[in-house]
Amino acid sequence: MAQVTLRTVVKKYGALQVVHGIDLDIDDSEFVVLVGPSGCGKSTTLRMIAGLEPISGGEIVIGDRVVNDLPPRHRNISMVFQNYALYPHMTVRENLGFSLKIAKRAQGEIDRAVDEAAEILSLTEYLDRKPGALSGGQRQRVAMGRAIVRHPDVFLFDEPLSNLDAKLRTQMRTEIKKLHQKVKSTIVYVTHDQVEAMTLADRIVIMRDGHIEQIGTPLEVFEAPTNTFVATFIGSPPMNLLEGRVAQDAVALANGITVPVPEAFRAHVTDGQEVILGVRADNLMPVGHAMPMEGAHAAFDMTVNLSEPLGTETLLFATLAGEEVQAKMLNPRPVASGEQLRFQLDLTRCHLFDAQSRQSLR
């Protein structure tokens, strides 16, 4: 059990700087997910916490110790790797007990810890197999088991589910969440999958190009993204962004379409300001197939270019103000390409960003 604190942590490879002085406070037994596109520095950050990469500047604190110069074995952490990183020449039992054996614990204690971990992860019947004889999901569980037998201060997960097929991934996601509720350790989890981030995290850290873009609970980053990057990265399908200009409490989009400035942003915009209107597909729905919109809303006609039926809802691709946008149709009926529909836009859930800085105007 421990807090983890990063203070202006920097990583450079020669002249190339990949992490630009990030600050992060992780509470005891908190589940924090670092998420971002490839090359955003999230894995590097995790490896710096683990001690597998030396840091080029700043300070990393685990518990009450500055661990900058400590090798991984003195940090009391455990890590689950993307490729599982199991020891192929050891059985599952030996894999699970390896760290305790290295720590020279008594054999009885090792056996108890291994049995307990195997029990939690339903690996008991595979204990005498070697990793080569296990399926992907089982290997993943062994990797997790190896991490939990040590009761470390901090668990580090490096994209642990990305090698599993979609069904198994969902299943293991649930297991990881259950595991966290059971062991109550601090977890730092890296993924590029925003769904994983949303479902698992107490707090999400969204990274891009070695900077932190936003830190917040899943709902915070979903409902109040601080910039257009977070807005499009979190949520599926990505938020629609439409360029416009503020004129008399309305946003004038292309092709003469205007949308009233959402209530929450009124005080933060001035006439003539260039803005970007952010609209999620969930808040843009055909009349008669929409969630009830109690607050302010706008309505306009759009031509549907394409529809993707998903069963409980249908995703519609339509043109609004010269841009292709995505909308959702609840309680769907078949929609033909080229069909014109009237759409409702929930203004209370719209976002406004500055066109230059691309930061939220709230």
Residue 87 sits in the site that holds another protein (CB under 8 A): yes
Residue 14 sits in the site that holds another protein (CB under 8 A): no
Decide: 240 and 315 in contact? Cβ < 8 Å.
no
Residue 133 sits in the site that holds another protein (CB under 8 A): yes
Stretch that binds another protein, among 74-82, 165-173, 258-266, 279-287 (CB under 8 A): 74-82
Residue the block writes with tokens 């803005």: 275
How far apart (Å, rounded) are the C-alpha atoms in residues 280 and 222?
Answer: 10
Residue 117's identity, in one-letter code, is A
Residue 114 sits in the site that holds another protein (CB under 8 A): no
Residue 109 sits in the site that holds another protein (CB under 8 A): no
DSSP codes of every residue in 200-238:
H-SEEEEEETTEEEEEE-HHHHHHS-SBHHHHHHSSSSP
Among 141, 146, 289, 349, binds another protein (CB under 8 A): 146
Contacts for 174 with CB less than 8 Å, ≥ 6 apart: none
- The site for another protein, by CB under 8 A, has a size of 28
Decide: 251 and 275 in contact? Cβ < 8 Å.
yes
Stretch that binds another protein, among 24-32, 79-87, 172-180, 184-192 (CB under 8 A): 79-87
Decide: 316 and 335 in contact? Cβ < 8 Å.
yes
**Residue 46 CB, nearest approach to another protein (Å):** 11
Residue 70 sits in the site that holds another protein (CB under 8 A): no
Q: How far is CA 99 from CA 25, 73, 83, 319, in A?
A: 28, 10, 19, 58
Residue 89 sits in the site that holds another protein (CB under 8 A): yes
* Sheet strands side by side (includes 65-66): 16-26, 4-13, 57-62, 65-66
CB atoms within 10 A of CB 102: 10
Among 50, 142, 206, 341, binds another protein (CB under 8 A): 50
Residue 52 sits in the site that holds another protein (CB under 8 A): yes
Residue 135 sits in the site that holds another protein (CB under 8 A): no
Residue the block writes with tokens 């008669």: 288
Of 150 and 349, which has the nearer Cβ to another protein? 150
Stretch that binds another protein, among 25-33, 124-132, 167-175, 335-343 (CB under 8 A): 124-132
Going by the DSSP 8-state scheme, the letter that residue 65 receives in this structure is E
**Residue 60 CB, nearest approach to another protein (Å):** 15
**Residue 32 CB, nearest approach to another protein (Å):** 18
Q: Give per-residue burial for 161-191: e unless 16+ CB within 10 Å, then b.
A: beebeeeebeebbebbeebbeebebbbbbbb
Going residue by residue from 164 to 193, which x/- string records binding to another protein, judged by CB under 8 A?
------------------------------
**Residue 217 CB, nearest approach to another protein (Å):** 29
Of 191 and 228, which has the nearer Cβ to another protein? 191
Of 90 and 315, which has the nearer Cβ to another protein? 90
Residue 281's identity, in one-letter code, is A
Of 97 and 244, which has the nearer Cβ to another protein? 97
Residue the block writes with tokens 């202006």: 8
Among 72, 136, 237, 238, binds another protein (CB under 8 A): 72
Residues at the site binding another protein, with contacts judged by CB under 8 A? 50-52, 71-73, 77-79, 81, 83-89, 98-99, 102-103, 130-133, 146, 150, 156
